[in-house]
């Protein structure tokens, strides 16, 4: 998890800073201009639907600045389109423009108070700002609007982790798994998933998932997350020998091997 998250951050950092090229065997450093937009600018004659679709394509290609150009052009023609405000907010968030993203999500909700994804995504902004109680409030509102969205429960669990309310976090994660067993392994296309910000919380998170999958009888996934908890340096890993959820897993030869030959924690 950590490596994927860091790769994302490094990619965004590269997009935000000028490229630097150095000639070999030389002290000369040439500062290059920042990356240019890759797509043609939005056509004035394009419809709102065409602009939104092209924005979606560019966002999928991670051409975020270009995607924003198209979303903004669509909003200029249809300023009350809450769904497009939400998409612009997601794109701003991916660019780490948190203030702009928050405004976009608030505009989306101003246009459509029933837009569950915007509620969830506003909750992510509060989570990133470490305003975890505010995040919980928005996630719970999103769940009321759309109780079948597994990612909302996952984000709610992350917010409870932020407040060290681990029992409530576990219940939220359990609800997420009941809706989608793959919820922790896929990216959301309509919303943003909250990230664990503390290494200690990440390790605990992995252990909780290992416990939940063990309880469901999914040994493969339980072992996967148990290994990740070890790699994250979970300090209470020996609880695996007494937590009842792992009773069946403890007789699995793969479990015995994993715990006998524990992988060392991955350095930060």
Query: Could you report the per-residue pLDDT of 89-107, keeping only the tens digit for each?
Result: 999 999 999 999 999 999 9
What range does the domain containing 252 cover? Answer: 199-260
The CATH number covering residue 90 comes to 1.25.40.10
More confident residue, 24 or 220: 220
CA distances in angstroms from 24 to 27, 32, 33, listed in the order given: 8, 16, 20
Q: How many CA atoms lie within 13 A of 256 on its CB side?
A: 4
Domain finish residue from 64, 98, 113: 113
Tokens representing 21? 């090229």
pLDDT band, very low/low/confident/very high, at 64 (cuts 50, 70, 90): very high
Q: Which pLDDT value is given to residue 137? A: 98
Cβ–Cβ < 8 Å for 222, 214: yes
pLDDT band, very low/low/confident/very high, at 6 (cuts 50, 70, 90): very low
pLDDT band, very low/low/confident/very high, at 63 (cuts 50, 70, 90): very high
Cβ–Cβ < 8 Å for 198, 230: no
Domain finish residue from 78, 93, 113: 113
More confident residue, 35 or 207: 207
Q: Which pLDDT value is given to residue 27? A: 63
Does the pLDDT value for residue 223 go beyond 90? yes
What is the pLDDT averaged over residues 254-260? Answer: 95
Per the DSSP assignment, residues forming a β-bridge with 31 are 20
In this structure, is residue 245 part of a structural domain?
A: yes
Cβ–Cβ < 8 Å for 124, 135: yes
In this structure, is residue 183 part of a structural domain?
A: no
Report percent pLDDT > 90 for the chain: 73
Q: Which pLDDT value is given to residue 193? A: 67
Does the pLDDT value for residue 21 go beyond 80? no
Does the pLDDT value for residue 23 go beyond 50? no
In this structure, is residue 130 part of a structural domain?
A: no
Domain finish residue from 113, 146, 175: 113
Cβ-based neighbours of 155, under 8 Å, separated by 6 or more: 120, 123, 124, 127, 135, 139, 193, 194
Model pLDDT for residues 240-256, shown as the tens digit of each residue: 999 999 999 999 999 99
In this structure, is residue 244 part of a structural domain?
A: yes
Total domain count, the chain: 2
Produce one character per residue of 86-118: b if its CB has 16 or more CB atoms within 10 Å, e if not: bbbbbbbbbbebeebbbbbbebbbebbeebbbb
Q: Which pLDDT value is given to residue 10? A: 34
Q: Which pLDDT value is given to residue 32? A: 53
In this structure, is residue 190 part of a structural domain?
A: no
In this structure, is residue 77 part of a structural domain?
A: yes
In this structure, is residue 168 part of a structural domain?
A: no
In this structure, is residue 154 part of a structural domain?
A: no
Q: Which pLDDT value is given to residue 11? A: 36
Q: Which pLDDT value is given to residue 94? A: 93
pLDDT band, very low/low/confident/very high, at 19 (cuts 50, 70, 90): very low
What is the residue-averaged pLDDT of the chain?
86
pLDDT band, very low/low/confident/very high, at 201 (cuts 50, 70, 90): confident
Q: Which pLDDT value is given to residue 36? A: 60
Lowest mean pLDDT among 3-7, 60-64, 199-203: 3-7
Q: Which pLDDT value is given to residue 37? A: 72
> What is the chain's alpha carbon radius of gyration, rounded to the nearest angstrom?
22
């Amino acid at each position: 998890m950590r490596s994927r998250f860091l790769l994302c951050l490094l990619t965004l950092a590269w997009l935000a800073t000028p490229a630097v090229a150095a000639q070999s065997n030389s002290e000369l450093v040439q500062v290059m201009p920042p990356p240019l937009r890759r797509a043609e600018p939005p056509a004035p004659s394009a419809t709102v639907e065409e602009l939104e679709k092209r924005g979606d394509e560019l966002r999928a290609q991670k051409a975020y600045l270009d995607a924003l150009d198209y979303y903004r052009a669509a909003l200029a023609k249809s300023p009350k389109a809450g769904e497009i405000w939400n998409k612009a907010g997601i794109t701003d968030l991916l660019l780490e423009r948190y203030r702009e993203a928050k405004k976009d999500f608030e505009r989306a909700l101003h246009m459509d108070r029933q837009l569950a994804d915007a509620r969830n995504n506003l909750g992510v902004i509060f989570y990133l700002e470490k305003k975890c109680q505010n995040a919980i409030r928005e996630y719970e509102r999103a769940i009321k609007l759309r109780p079948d969205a597994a990612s909302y429960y996952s984000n709610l669990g992350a917010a409870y982790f932020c407040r060290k309310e681990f029992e409530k976090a576990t219940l939220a994660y359990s609800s997420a798994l009941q809706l989608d067993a793959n919820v922790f392994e896929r990216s959301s296309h309509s919303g943003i998933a909250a990230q664990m910000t503390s290494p200690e919380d990440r390790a605990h998170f992995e252990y909780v998932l290992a416990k939940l999958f063990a309880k469901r009888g999914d040994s493969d996934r339980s072992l996967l997350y148990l290994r990740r908890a070890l790699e994250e340096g979970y300090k209470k890993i020996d609880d695996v020998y007494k937590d009842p959820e792992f009773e069946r897993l403890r007789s699995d030869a793969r479990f015995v091997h994993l715990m006998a030959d524990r992988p060392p924690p991955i350095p930060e």
